[in-house]
Each structure stands twice: as C-alpha cells, then as structure tokens.
Amino acid sequence: MPEVQIEIGGRQFAVACQEGEEPYLHAAAKMLDTEAAVILGQIGRMPAERMLLMAGLMLADKTAALEDEIKGLQAKIAAQEKTLAAAEERLADRARRIGELQDAGPRTELPDRFTDGLAELAARAEAIAEELETRRN
C-alpha cells in the first residue's frame, strides 16, 4: 500500500492509499488545500484539525449545492424527454394519418359541408353582382 505525501494549508501529511489511487488522492488534497488557503487567508493560523474540518465543511457545502443543481438539471431533462416523447408520438400519429390518406388515394368529391358553403358563397356573389348591376342602371 503506497504512502503519499500531500500538502494542505502549508502542512505536510502522509496518507496511505490503494495502488493506483494516488492521482485521486492528490486531486482531493488539492481541493482541500484550495479551501484551506481561503480559510487561512481570512482567519490566519489555526490548528491542523480545525483547518481540515473547516475546509472539509466548505467542500461539503459546495458538493451539496452541486447536487441540488444536478437534481434540478435532471428534472429539466426528464421534462424535456417527456415533451420529446409526446412530440414523437404526435409525429408518428401524423405519419400514420398521411399513410392512410395516401393509401386511400385522391378524393374527387368534396364533403357536403364544403359544397353547401361554396353554393351559398356563389349565391351571395350573384346577388351582389345583380345589385351592383341594378345600381349602375
């Protein structure tokens, strides 16, 4: 089991770790050292235990904030996935309907409601034309 020397807050510590975990240990120590530097810059010299505790608490606070942000982003992703699934379903329904219409072939006759409406419009147009003709004469 390798023993690694790390520095946090200007103090040296010997820490044992599993083989291959050295890079992770150095990365974690660097994070603690960054927080310790902030604390020491604000408060000044303090016992190692207290410095490590405060730095650990600061990292825990940052971690909690990141976890909250991740939960919010996961909820947003879930909502977007739900919206996407609904849109895909609508698209599939429309594709099925288009296929049905293509299979049915072209329609040569209009529904009664359209022909009735067109007939009514034609009658109105004729009535307006007759009235204009009458006014001209």
Q: Which residue has the tokens 């329609």?
A: 107
Sketch the domain layout of the chain as residue ranges. Answer: 3-104, 112-137
Q: What is the three-class DSSP state of 2?
A: coil
Res. 112: pLDDT tops 80: no
Kindly state the average pLDDT of the residues 79-102. Answer: 94
Residue 109 has pLDDT above 80, yes or no: no
Averaged confidence pLDDT in the chain: 91
Confidence of residue 51 (pLDDT cuts 50, 70, 90): very high
Q: What percent of the chain has pLDDT over 70?
A: 98
pLDDT of residue 137: 66
The DSSP output letter for 112 is: H
Taking residues 23-50, report their average pLDDT.
93
Q: Amino acid identity, residue 59?
A: L
For the record, the structure tokens of 83 come out as: 């919206």
The pLDDT, as a whole number, for residue 96 is 94
Q: Are 8 and 32 in contact (CB under 8 A)?
A: yes
